[in-house]
Structure 1
Amino acid sequence: MGFLHKTSKQTAKLKSLLGLAVSRIAVARRPRLARKSIACSDVSQLLVLGHLNRALHRAEQVIQEDNMLEAFGIIELYCKRLIEQAEQLDKPQECGEELREAAASIMFAAGWCGDLQELLFARTILADKFGGDFAVAAKEGTGIVDPILVWKLSGSTAGMELKKKVTKEIAAENNILVDFSELPEATEDGNDMLVDFFELQEATEEGNNNVPDSQELLGEMPCQDDMDESSESDRECAHCYQL
């Protein structure tokens, strides 16, 4: 009876954490939408000025922000699914594939989203429920983790073809003609190391932004954090939430 009570309390805490994560996603979207808009505008201006290679370099920022925005949408969906079906988590061995996918995907995202600190605590609770093997597979992005989420969070954004595609889309939206045949060979090979003025300008503007950044609170999270080394710390954090 005591075990059942503990599990139910744990599930209630998980629902609370996931609800907070959903709320934080709404806040985290805003600066990323702004940065994406600025980067798109920069690409357009660079194309007008004839700086195609620099426009391609800037397009990488557009891709990065867009990937994270799409990842936020997927994470929000899985958070809501777990909240809506939370009572089933009291018997994790009986959870269906959709719920297991949601749990694994949230656990994977916890290691990549410094903006969503609640996911770290949620991961600890889910690891207790589903077990160590499930947690390891989730951390590595294998097994039942949503492959689209894995790609959006950990995939490369530096591929030349992808940057060309995004640049071409921005050019079309602004009625700008683009001729990639004029690109220098070094740019095609991904060796162009130009840093454009717009990135420096944006960095300066971000430095004056007073909006709190959760990464400042948590520190930069490594992309593939070691679940084994951090499990004790995570459990202590989860215990603090339970109190």
Structure 2
Amino acid sequence: MFLRCFKPKFYKKSKSTTSYMKIRIDIVRRKRIAMVRNYKTDIVNFLKNGQDSEAYRRAELLLEELRIISCYDLIERFCDCISENLSLMLKKRECPEECREAVSSLIYATAWVPDVPELKDLRAVFTKRFGNFIASSVNHELVEKTELLRPPSRELKIQTVKDVANEFSINWDPTPLKLMLLRETSALQIKDKVETRADYLNKDTEKSFMDEHSDDESVLSESWRIDSLSKGSLSSSSSSSSSSLRRVSVRKKKGKKILPYGIISSPDTKLGAGNDEKAQEEKEEKRKIADQENSRLLGIQGSRSLTSTSNNEVSTIRENERMSSFQRPNLLDYDDVVARLAALRRR
């Protein structure tokens, strides 16, 4: 009597939601059944026109509609279970054993059946009273039909076409369709093998190219290292040759002992015509020796670096020309100098 007069919110919400849900399921199921009829009509027309492949494709769509309709049937069955045991659920704070599968399955179906929005309201009511649902209590048939881990097999599609043909009294032989599907499958397998082989060859060629590229890089690095070493040796040889040339030129300058103009030599060191000729001959001999040594050094250097050799040769030739063009100044006679100094004193 108390429950009839003052019904709790859980009871009223669950009762109204399950009632509305059954009405919604009936509406959407009629639409799906109409689609099933249309697909069956299409399959029959295709079979009469000899288009077995199109009938085979329509069979997959037909199986999809039948799957959704079966989900609606399961949800409607669970709603009936909730309506029958609602008074028992109201008396207990925990979900009864008789309703545990129905409650868990309806909460689970909320994420997989978008055509029935009343499932969200029912899930809110159940989770508020009983907490989260237990995954192990969900109906396995509902899980298989909602998740659909893989599409229907070829045999199931052919059997569906055959059932539709028998339903409409059509004598249909599935052998040509099976042969056609077998040829398509073999062609796809050959194509996959060819693509796999092409990918394998591309990987091999890429690997070989990378190996050749790495070998080329090693060869280049080795050549660069050799070039750097040769350049270092050439630079060291050029520096040694230039230092040797500088030493030769310094020795030449030291050996000449050129007196500046205006310094008066002693009477004992007067140079005559014979002495000048000897000094000139000695100078020529020293110049020849220096030229031979320079040419020898330049020849060694030219075998290693043509550019440095040409530069050193030009500098050496210019230095030799400058040294050869130099002439020793003629010194004044001692008696003339003494006479000039005496004349300056008298002034």
Query: TM class, shorter-chain normalised?
Result: 0.5 to 0.7
Query: Would the aligned equivalents of 1:29 and 1:69 in 2 still touch at CA under 8 Å?
Result: yes
- Number of aligned positions between the proteins: 176
Q: In the alignment, which residue of structure 2 is the partner of 1:206?
A: none
Name the amino acid aligned to 1:164: I
Q: In the alignment, which residue of structure 2 is the partner of 1:171?
A: 165
Query: Would the aligned equivalents of 1:18 and 1:79 in 2 still touch at CA under 8 Å?
Result: yes
- Give the distance between the partners of 2:31 and 2:184, measured in 1 at CA: 29
Query: Would the aligned equivalents of 2:112 and 2:146 in 1 still touch at CA under 8 Å?
Result: yes
The TM-score, its normalising length taken from structure 1, stands at 0.66
Q: In the alignment, which residue of structure 2 is the partner of 1:162?
A: 156
Name the amino acid aligned to 1:150: V
User: Structure 2: where are the runs of 5+ without partners?
Assistant: 1-6, 189-347
Name the amino acid aligned to 1:185: L
Query: Would the aligned equivalents of 1:25 and 1:76 in 2 still touch at CA under 8 Å?
Result: yes
- Give the distance between the partners of 1:148 and 1:186, measured in 2 at CA: 35
> Are 1:145 and 2:145 an aligned pair?
no
Q: What secondary structure sits across from 1:183 in the alignment?
A: helix
> 1:45-70 CA deviation, whole Å, 9 max, x = no partner?
11222222221111111111111111
1:176 Cα deviation from its structure 2 partner: 2.7
Query: Would the aligned equivalents of 1:63 and 1:157 in 2 still touch at CA under 8 Å?
Result: no
Instruction: Report percent identity of matched pairs.
Output: 27
> Are 1:89 and 2:89 an aligned pair?
yes
Query: Would the aligned equivalents of 2:14 and 2:125 in 1 still touch at CA under 8 Å?
Result: yes
Name the amino acid aligned to 1:21: M
> Are 1:181 and 2:182 an aligned pair?
no
Query: Would the aligned equivalents of 1:104 and 1:144 in 2 still touch at CA under 8 Å?
Result: yes
Q: Which has the higher helix share?
A: 2
Moved over 3 A (4+): 184-189
User: Structure 1: where are the runs of 5+ without partners?
Assistant: 1-6, 138-142, 192-243
Q: What secondary structure sits across from 2:107 in the alignment?
A: helix
1:40 Cα deviation from its structure 2 partner: 0.9
Name the amino acid aligned to 1:119: L
Query: Would the aligned equivalents of 1:47 and 1:176 in 2 still touch at CA under 8 Å?
Result: no
1:8 Cα deviation from its structure 2 partner: 3.2
1:188 Cα deviation from its structure 2 partner: 4.9
Check 1:110–1:94 CA distance in 2 against 1; reply closer, same or farther (3 A cut): closer
Query: Would the aligned equivalents of 1:82 and 1:99 in 2 still touch at CA under 8 Å?
Result: yes
Q: In the alignment, which residue of structure 1 is the partner of 2:102?
A: 102
Q: What secondary structure sits across from 2:152 in the alignment?
A: coil
Compare CA radii of gyration and give the structure with the larger one. Answer: 2
Name the amino acid aligned to 2:138: V
Which of the pair has the greater relative contact order for Cα pairs under 8 Å at 6+ separation? 1
The TM-score, its normalising length taken from structure 2, stands at 0.47
1:187 Cα deviation from its structure 2 partner: 5.1
Q: In the alignment, which residue of structure 1 is the partner of 2:115?
A: 115
Query: Would the aligned equivalents of 1:92 and 1:130 in 2 still touch at CA under 8 Å?
Result: yes
Check 1:101–1:152 CA distance in 2 against 1; reply closer, same or farther (3 A cut): same
Query: Would the aligned equivalents of 2:95 and 2:130 in 1 still touch at CA under 8 Å?
Result: no
> Are 1:52 and 2:52 an aligned pair?
yes
Q: RMSD value over aligned CA atoms?
A: 2.2
- Give the distance between the partners of 1:94 and 1:109, measured in 2 at CA: 18
Q: In the alignment, which residue of structure 1 is the partner of 2:71?
A: 71
Q: In the alignment, which residue of structure 1 is the partner of 2:266?
A: none
